[in-house]
Structure 1
Amino acid sequence: MALRMKSPIGARAGSRPASVRVAGVMPLRAVAPSMATVAKRMSVQVRVAAADAPSAAQQKLMASLNAARPVYPFTAIVGQEEMKLALILNVIDPKIGGVMVMGDRGTGKSTTIRALADLLPEMNVVWKDPFNSDPNDPELMSSEVRERLKSGEVLKTGTMKIPMVDLPLGATEDRVCGTIDIEKALTEGVKAFEPGLLAKANRGILYVDEVNLLDDHLVDVLLDSAASGWNTVEREGISISHPARFILVGSGNPEEGELRPQLLDRFGMHAQIGTVREPKLRVQIVTERQKFDENPTDFRESVKDGQIALTDRIVAARVLLKKIEVDYEQRVKISQICSELNVDGIRGDIVTNRAAKAIAAFEGRSEVTPEDIYRVIPLCLRHRLRKDPLAQIDDGERVREVFKKVFDLE
């Protein structure tokens, strides 16, 4: 097979190749390379490419470098069962209303909450939508996505990890809720909205560390959005609303002060954690943490099966939750407990019913038992008993005593 070189510009087809003349040098002719030369060059290129191909160790290193910051596995966290249970129940039923976690410094509050977000499965979203709209649920769609659907547009979808948004203590209301560009709205007639942290947290987890040090006004804004599932921003007569359905998780140290009772009541559940005192358990925690710090990838791989099993269990509980009902007699007794404890409002009743259903679903049962209620009712009511802002939150013993009395378990 003959190789032909393309004729140079200005040369006629079929004419001899043009010569290149250089002063004092013999004229050179453009000669096509032979097949042997081409084959030799190709073999050299293949060898170079093979030499450049990364080894298995290099590929593993590249994967580690490209991965996100490693998160400590949820199933590897030792102790703190009360906090872990409250978080899992809120994931199963986000309408419980969030968790307030109070405990000593260095007890793993932030680590556990971040591990929970890493544990959860990916969710379907509308592609490049800043509000993480659900393509299948109109209640979780932004106004823009709804309009696109009404116009007959076929939405492009994708998947993403459950968002975990940290709210810093110095955040302003505009940073939390979002801002409207008034100048652009007046000059161009369009609603130019810059989404805030509430938009990013939609369908995810919004975590506020040291929430007891956050400005009360911002805490009120967060709780309003968490309760209603929507965030509304109004500036100069322009109003924009978007879905903001998230699990609100706050943490704090009791030594730095408590939230006002009015704000505490807005959190669905309250978990108390303390420092582990058992020496052997402390050694186990330190050992596990050292293993993770030395090689996060291998440590996460060692608990991968447990992580997958817990994720599957949560997904199954979400499906089963819709089929569970609390018996009427049990609902009456729950309300009787709330009444005898002098709990203000009916949030305590609602949250206890939801939490009891969630724990039954987590256990894989279709009926709520008194034991389910006993396990969750202290978490749902203890922070609603404090009338005096300076008083300490009950550890749950009062709630358990009244429960035993009402359910005749003494």
Structure 2
Amino acid sequence: MSVSNAAAGTSAVLPPPSRLTPALGLAVEHGIDDFYQGAVPALVPLLVLLRGYDLIQAGGVVLAATLLSSVAQPAFGVLADRRPLPWLRPAGLLLAAGGISAVGLLGTYGAIWVAAMISGLGVAAYHPEAARAVHASGGGDQAMGWFTFGGLAGYAAGPPVTAAVLGTLGLAASPLLALPAVAAAAAGLIRLRFRSVPSLTAAAAQQQGSEDWPRFALLTVVVVLRSVAYFGVVTLVVVHLTSRRGLGLGAATAVLTTFTATGAIGTLLGGYLTRWADRVTVIAASYLLAVPALAGLAFAAQPTVLLGCAGLLGLALHVPVALHTTLGQQYLPRHLGTAAGVTLGLAVSAGGLAAPVLGAGAERLGTTSLLAIVAALPLLAATTAAALAQRQPPETADASADHDEWITE
């Protein structure tokens, strides 16, 4: 890869189907893992109704599972970079499932809080090694796109499936939710038992090229800005449309649903757009498109216009998500786990930390003004992404084939 191409973050051409096959298996596995993160919000009404918890206590359970998970991911990434730890994937699946399963069986709030925390740690432990395996598959941006799509699909399935199972059978049926993870972990452990996992020697690591921490720091800023913008939308848009634009709850929810649905498509689309443009260009252009779309949500009143803006915004904010990780791994070829842990972890935790500030800002300034301010964040992200292309990094080889990690086939 030339220096100029590395600066732009180019991706390989469309990989053959044989290289995408492992990624599709990893996407299913990722969906199972993130299903347990998605199950946590569905526990809130059940804990309130069946255990008599107030909303603060129920919210504490959500905080224990989600925020700690996101914050812990970079730490697991650093750990995974010290030596290959493919067993973290099945272990993470089992911890994620075990914690959620225990919530329905435990009687005290403290024990339930700890169980939720354990589930969150399991989710965190899974991601860095899984992202390394996606890199090792050789599928490039397309593989990471499918992997990310699988996680979003699993997360989206968590609330309705959890509500259906536990709402019908009661909290005591929570161990049933662990069955997908047990099956996936068992299959993975069997595969791991009969597959050698070579360690990454210093010589092999050196062949992967130099690392560019300054550009990775700039990429981290982009990830944080996108995370805050995303949480601003999901936190404020329904309240804004019902209170300021006079839409009914159903219509406002349809706008938010359009945003999330097109977002899932965007995660896949991003990987394929890099066939025609480099990663940095795709990222920057996507965030530029997000600015007018977000402004439209803030100021438009017609339902059709709002649906169109929501659809465009969903694409624009989700196209770069998988590319953040592949670009981060390109910048840190000897710290693939760290790159994945930071780009995947901060994608959730940064916005989650900013959510209370966004809520307070909406109370003080109004939702219209705050959404207009949030619309500036994608512009800042696009500007920061453009700076990535202007810096001249060390030449970096993409040696994904050198990582024979535990890959789902």
Larger radius of gyration: 1
Please, what TM-score do these two structures have when normalized by structure 1?
0.23
Q: Going by fraction, where is strand more abundant, 1 or 2?
A: 1
Q: Of Structure 1 and Structure 2, which has the larger fraction of its residues in helix?
A: 2
